[in-house]
Every structure is written in structure tokens, then in C-alpha cells.
Amino acid sequence: MARLRLFLRRLNTAERTRLLRSSRGLIIAAWLILPIHVQAAWSGDPTPSSSWFVDMNRFLKSAHGSLTCERCHVEMTARDKVHPNREDPTAMKKVVVRSYDYKRCASCHPEAYKRFLQGEHAKELAKEKQAPPPEGKEPPPEKLAPTCGDCHSSHYAQSKRSRVELGTQMIETCGKCHKAQEASYLKDIHGRMGVFLEKKASAYCTDCHGAHTCESLKDKNKALEACRRCHKDATIQFAGILIHAGQQDISKKDPEKQAHAAIIGTIKGFAQTGTIILLLFFALQTFIWILRELHRRLRGR
Amino acid sequence: MRDQTVEQVIYWRFNVLHRVVHLVVMFAFIGVGLTGFSMAFSSVGLAQTFVWLLGGIDSVRYFHRFCAVILYLCVVTEILWGLYYRFVLRGNLLGPNSICFRIRDLRFFREHMGYLLGQSEGPPRFERFTWWEKLDYWTLFLGMHSMALTGVFLWFPEFFSRFFPGYFVNIAQVLHFDEAILAVLYKFFIHTAVRHLRPEVYPGDWVIFTGKVTKETMMRAHPGEWALLNAHQQGSATRDQ
């Protein structure tokens, strides 16, 4: 530092300006790049939740932070090959959530794993394993059946989160694949209260569909069971209330609900048109009225 | 009816009941609208702040229903007043001084539109209540009933889904929201503009709060009623002689 100061003091004015000018680009570049690093440090999500690289700072704060790596990644050799296999050029390009053996989760979370196996997502996964998509023509990740890792971040998921925090995160997680259902849920009273206004007693995705079973609730009796967890006096017709009220949310195999959604859509259309026409008429009439009286007053009558 | 003062003759247009009812309806309507819209547009940050200010969603829901009940009680008060007016005061509900619509109002409406479009020099000779005053009154009166109907569907969905299919609750929600938009925009903008921004009444028509109108206003805005009143007085004067 002292040497640098001495060096700068020895320079004359012309030399000093030349040095500044030549280093100006560097200074500007530093100012442009700096915010990116600051942002990365602040936002706290520089690495995706499941990848070959683990952000140890975030891992240690997570629910699994007290576990050793070997607890989940049991053996570092598989089929006599060291993991990861350096000879295999695709080793690091494999999608982790597809290649990890999620049976290992069951050693700590047996109940959750059992429910997952009973549920719709596991059925889809089994179908996909029987008839895997052709090589190179794999659909985008949101079209594939989910494994544990698709919904849960094994390295960064935090424990002891509040019900509202979990629910809000759930909307994002489920919404990655079920986009239309996310949108219609957020329009429904449960979504508006639970997600935006933080009402704890509201129902989030898994409160009705089950955390790991992920049922579709097309069957009215099953839906009623879900309703009754909060609405004790609900009857079978109560289960006919559309929660995901958009027509694209409802399966084509359910003509009754489709018809109901169509009726709701028609009534909505009429109501909105009527509202707009009435408001436009009265707004225009009031505007002309004010102009007319102004005109009359200016004429002195 | 008439009250002699030093400067000018004052006519009583609204009695104390109607003034109080209007004031209560005004505040309850603002309350019900603010809380309702903060729930309907809950994804907006402003709505979330408002809900936070009122102490959370549970108290907002309570306040919304509280205001709604108050509003409906005002409607009930008006019904009771109508019965009192008809059977105790022996008033004529279909007469020229009544708030009820008459066939004649259609003609007034047509003439008023003609005046706005420049077909005549002045407004028609309105009676005690003009067509837009009657419209303001009856839209709120009837609107409160339909809002109450859809509102109780949303309040007690378990009870009502015993008698109606479940999707009726969805329909109730759609209608409740759309009618709320209509009512709030109409009352907050159009009703306010008609009562404040028109050059005839600018900067404000305070008659609903004070209940009094001057002779000049009476002659200008309600010439029909003025003529009727004078005819009655002259009639009674001649009869007295």
C-alpha cells in the first residue's frame, strides 16, 4: 500500500490522467459487476435446489443440516465404479432428481413414503418407468411424474416453518406442474384468504388433496371427506362447490362439473356485461349532464 | 312543513329519520366496500396492508358482516317507515310526493334526456323526487336484498348447500362480486358526481344532511312540487274564506 502511494506520488499530472483514463474501463466494469455479486449474496438462492453442487452454508441451516453426507448418499461406489464415474462423460449431466434412489428417504420418513406409494404421483411414476420416454425426446421436467426431490429440496428445505409459510411455498411447488389449478385456487376464497391474507384456518393444497397421497378428489364422497375436516356440517351437495372453478381445471370425464362450470361462466359473462353497460351509460350521462349545466350557466340562463 | 325564518323560507325535505339513515348507510357502505374489496383483491399489496391495519383477516370478515347487517337493518327501517307513512300518516305511496316510481317518471326521464341532448331549454318540472333520486334509492333498496341473499349464501354455505346444489355458492360469489363492483362504482363516482360536481349543486348538495331547502332551490329544482304545494295552500286558503 505504501509502495503504491509512493508510486502514485512520483507520477506527474499528465501521467496520472493517462493512468486514470486507461483504468477507467476497469473501474466502470467493477461497478457493473459488483451488484451481481452483492445480489447473489443477498438473494440466497444461487444454486438450484437439487444439483451436483451443494451450498454448504444453506445446507447447514436446513432441516437435514445435522446429517452427514453418507447418511443419504450411502456408498460412493456403485457397480464397482467410483461415484461419480469419471470415465462416463454423461455422469455429471444426469438429472439428479431422476437418478437418485428415493427409497432411502423411507428410512427416516416411512409414513410419508408409504403414503407416496399409495398416491397418484407414485402411480404416474410407475407408469413412466414401465414406458420411459424415448431418449433425447424427454418432455420438460414439469411434464414428468414427480419423485420426492421434485417437490422437496433435500439439501435446503428448512424445518419449523409456520403453516402460512408452508402453504405459500406449497402453491409454488404444486403450481410448477399444476399451473391452471394454482391460478384458480388463488382466485378461490381459500387461496385468497390463506395465501395473501395469511389466514391459518384456510385450506392449502395438501389439506384437501393429502400431503403425499395427492388424490384428485373427483369422487364426491372423497371430496366431502376433505370438506368435513373443516366444514363439520357439510352435506354431499356441499362437495359440489367448485374450488378450482376454471373450466380448464375440470377433467373432461366429469360432465356434471363441466356443465356447472359452464353455467357459472355464462352467468359471470352476463353479470360483467351488464355491469359495464350500466356503468358506462351512467358515467356518460353524468358527464353530458355536467357539460349541459355548464353550458346553460355560461349562457346566463 | 313550513318554517318562517328572518331571511328566507325553509322547506323540510328530509325528516331526522331519513337523515340519520342516510348517514349510517353512508358509513356502513364505505365499511362494507373497503373490507369487501380488500378481501376480493387480496393479492394487491394495498389490500394486504389494509387487512393488517384492521387486525387480520378474521376481524375484516367480522367487520364486513357487521357493516352488512347494519346496512340491512337500515333497509328494514325504511320498510317500517313506509308502513308508518302509509297506515299511520295516511300518506299516498303512489302519489306525487312518494319515492315510489310512477308512470310519469318515464316521461320525466325522456324529457330530461332531451334536455341533456339540447332538445329543450331547461329540465322538466320535477316533482318532490326526481327520477335519479328514486333510482339511487331503489337501486340501494333492492340491491341490498340481492347482496344480502348472495351474502348469506357465502356466509353459511353449509346450510344453503342442503337445499341447493353446491355450484350455487359459486354463482352467489360471482354475483356478489359483480354487484359490489357495480354498486361501489355507481355510489362512489356517479352518485357523488351528480350530488357534488354538477354546476347546479357544486360544491355540494347538503340537503340530505341538513334536511332543509330554500325557496329558491325549491322553485328551481322541484317546480312541480312547488306548484302543487302552492295550489294546495291557495286551495286551503280559499276554503278557509
Residue-wise pLDDT tens digits, A86-97: 677 776 677 777
Asked whether residue A176 falls in the same domain as residue A242, the answer is yes
- pLDDT for the residue B3: 53
Asked whether residue A197 falls in the same domain as residue A239, the answer is yes
| Shortest Cα–Cα distance, A128 to chain B (Å) | 36
Q: Report if residue A132 sits inside a domain.
A: no
| Cβ-nearest to B48 among A196, A240, A278 | A196
Asked whether residue A241 falls in the same domain as residue A287, the answer is no
| Shortest Cα–Cα distance, B166 to chain A (Å) | 4
What pairs with residue B10 in β-bridges? B3, B214
- Contact yes or no for A268 and B178 at CB 8 A: yes
**Inter-residue contact A271 to B178 (CB < 8 Å):** yes
Q: Report if residue A116 sits inside a domain.
A: no
Residues of B in contact with A282 (CB under 8 A): 186, 190
Query: Who's near B191: CB < 8 A, 6+ residues apart?
Result: B136
Quote the number of domains for chain A: 2
- pLDDT for the residue B82: 93
- pLDDT for the residue A301: 62
Residue in B with minimal Cα distance to A239: B166
Enclosing domain of residue A279? 254-293
Q: Report if residue A5 sits inside a domain.
A: no
Asked whether residue A230 falls in the same domain as residue A260, the answer is no
Task: Kindly list the distances between the CA atom of residue A228 and the CA atoms of A37, A119, A193, A223, in Å, as whole numbers in the listed order.
Answer: 50, 21, 19, 9
Asked whether residue A199 falls in the same domain as residue A159, the answer is yes
Classify the phi-psi angles of A222: left when phi > 0, otherwise alpha if psi is within -120 to 50, otherwise beta: alpha
**Inter-residue contact A214 to A148 (CB < 8 Å):** no
- pLDDT for the residue A84: 65
- pLDDT for the residue B100: 92
Q: Which residue has the cell 348447500?
A: B161
- Contact yes or no for A237 and B197 at CB 8 A: no
Asked whether residue A157 falls in the same domain as residue A178, the answer is yes
Q: Report if residue A170 sits inside a domain.
A: yes
Asked whether residue A183 falls in the same domain as residue A241, the answer is yes
Residues of B in contact with A235 (CB under 8 A): 158, 161-162
- Contact yes or no for B194 and A296 at CB 8 A: no
Q: Report if residue A196 sits inside a domain.
A: yes
Asked whether residue A203 falls in the same domain as residue A272, the answer is no
Residue A239 backbone dihedrals phi, psi, to 5 degrees = -70, -10
Classify the phi-psi angles of A50: left when phi > 0, otherwise alpha if psi is within -120 to 50, otherwise beta: beta
Residue-wise pLDDT tens digits, A162-213: 999 999 988 988 998 898 899 999 999 999 999 999 899 999 999 999 889 8
Q: Report if residue A141 sits inside a domain.
A: no
Q: Report if residue A118 sits inside a domain.
A: no
Q: Report if residue A3 sits inside a domain.
A: no
Asked whether residue A266 falls in the same domain as residue A187, the answer is no
pLDDT along chain B (241 residues), means of 10: 61 93 96 96 93 93 97 96 93 88 93 93 90 94 95 95 94 96 95 91 89 88 88 59 34
- pLDDT for the residue A36: 65
Residues of B in contact with A283 (CB under 8 A): 189-190
Least confident among A139-148, A238-247, B99-108: A139-148
Residue-wise pLDDT tens digits, A219-236: 889 999 999 999 999 999
Domains along chain B with CATH numbers: 2-240 (1.20.950.20)
Q: What share of chain A is helix, strand, coil (3-state, %, to 5)?
A: 60, 0, 40
Which residue intervals of A143-219 are DSSP H helices? 148-151, 163-175, 179-187, 189-191, 205-209
Asked whether residue A166 falls in the same domain as residue A239, the answer is yes
